[in-house]
Amino acid sequence: MTMSTCRNTQDVSAAPSQSAGRFRARSRWRRLAGLWRDTSGATAVEFVFVAIPVIYLMVGILEFSAAMTVSNSLEAATNLSSRLGKTGFVDIDEGLDQSETIRAEIERRVGPLIDMNKLEIDAKAYADFGSVGNAEPWNDANDNGEPDPGEWTDTNGNNFCDGCTGFGGADNVVIYTITYPWTIMTPLMNRLLGEDGIFNLTAYSVVKNEPY
Ligand SMILES: [Ca+2]
Ligand SMILES: [Ca+2]
């Protein structure tokens, strides 16, 4: 008699509890369904999905534009300065040689955009246009940056160190090469143009020195 009373008591107390559980589950489901149908924040979410790639693209384009500006300026400064170089011009007032004149011109144009310490200026001289491309073996044994007697093999017998570093003399041909390692900041540009985070900007100019 006692056991029967106890079982009835459990049945009576369990029924409201199960009912309340089902009610909470239905209520939660209705809230979720309501959230699913709620489109009031859709514009903000769509903006985020669109804005991130657009900003990513715009920053990449800005960096590419800056790199191209520097590249064009390297080319312009190289052409201008190499034309000065072919006349044997050096900035006597400032005490600059051809290489320093080119460097000063580049710094004037794009100095704030680049690290001038990373800029490399190379000039190789050939006796004439017919010798261009046939650089002769050379070792700068005394490390003075100039071809001295005994440091190169005159393979074409013209008594001139073709392809050696220097600005040559009157009537010689000089190839100027200016390079700058642009450090890439955006992943997009690195993927398209970079190599290990670097985009090498290079400008060339070939001039024939005047018979000064
Ligand atoms: Ca030397
Ligand atoms: Ca030679």
* pLDDT attached to residue 137: 94
Query: Which of 1-15, 155-169, 186-200 has the least mean pLDDT?
Result: 1-15
Q: Average pLDDT for residues 85-106, to the nearest whole number?
A: 71
**Nearest of 93, 88, 92, 91 to residue 103 by alpha carbon:** 91
Distance 87 CA to ligand 1 centre (A): 24
Q: What pTM does this model have?
A: 0.66
Please name the residues in contact with 174: beta carbons below 8 A apart, sequence gap of 6 or more.
82, 85, 86, 123, 124, 125, 126, 166, 167, 168, 206, 207, 208, 209
In-domain check, residue 103:
yes
Q: How many domains does the chain have?
A: 1
In-domain check, residue 116:
yes
Distance 164 CA to ligand 1 centre (A): 10
Token pair 């999905």 in the structure block, residue: 49
Listing DSSP states for 103-138 in one string gives HHHHHHHHGGGS-GGG-EEEEEEESSGGGTT-PPPB
Distance 153 CA to ligand 1 centre (A): 13
In-domain check, residue 21:
no
Residue 81, pLDDT > 70, answer no
Distance 149 CA to ligand 2 centre (A): 12
Q: Look up the domain containing 92 and give its range.
A: 43-208
In-domain check, residue 19:
no
Query: Which of 3-7, 54-58, 92-96, 150-154 has the least mean pLDDT?
Result: 3-7
